[in-house]
Amino acid sequence: MQAAVGDRLHVHGNTVGEPDRVGEIVEVRGQEGAPPYLVRFQDGHTSLVFPGPDAVIESGSAGEEAKST
């Protein structure tokens, strides 16, 4: 998985009724776009995230395909 600042991290809910979470990647701490990522979520909190298999990176550039794990 690789990401850049400005990309979106979309974490799918893994339990019935749990909503998806979407946040903007504000810092990439791994080498060459690798995790972990500092993510600002829509509710305003910021967290250091090591994405799992339920997460997808959505490019910050319009028209580019989503990058998945």
pLDDT in single tens digits along all 69 residues of the chain: 899 999 999 999 888 998 999 999 999 999 999 999 999 999 999 999 999 999 999 998 644 444 544
Q: pTM value?
A: 0.80
Does residue 36 have a cis peptide bond before it, meaning omega lies within 30 degrees of 0?
Answer: yes
Dihedral angle at the C-alpha atoms of 40, 20, 58, 67, nearest 10 degrees?
Answer: 130
Domain that holds residue 20: 1-53
* CATH, residue 29: 2.30.30.440
Query: Is residue 35 included in any domain, yes or no?
Result: yes
**Count of domains for the chain:** 1
Query: Is residue 64 included in any domain, yes or no?
Result: no
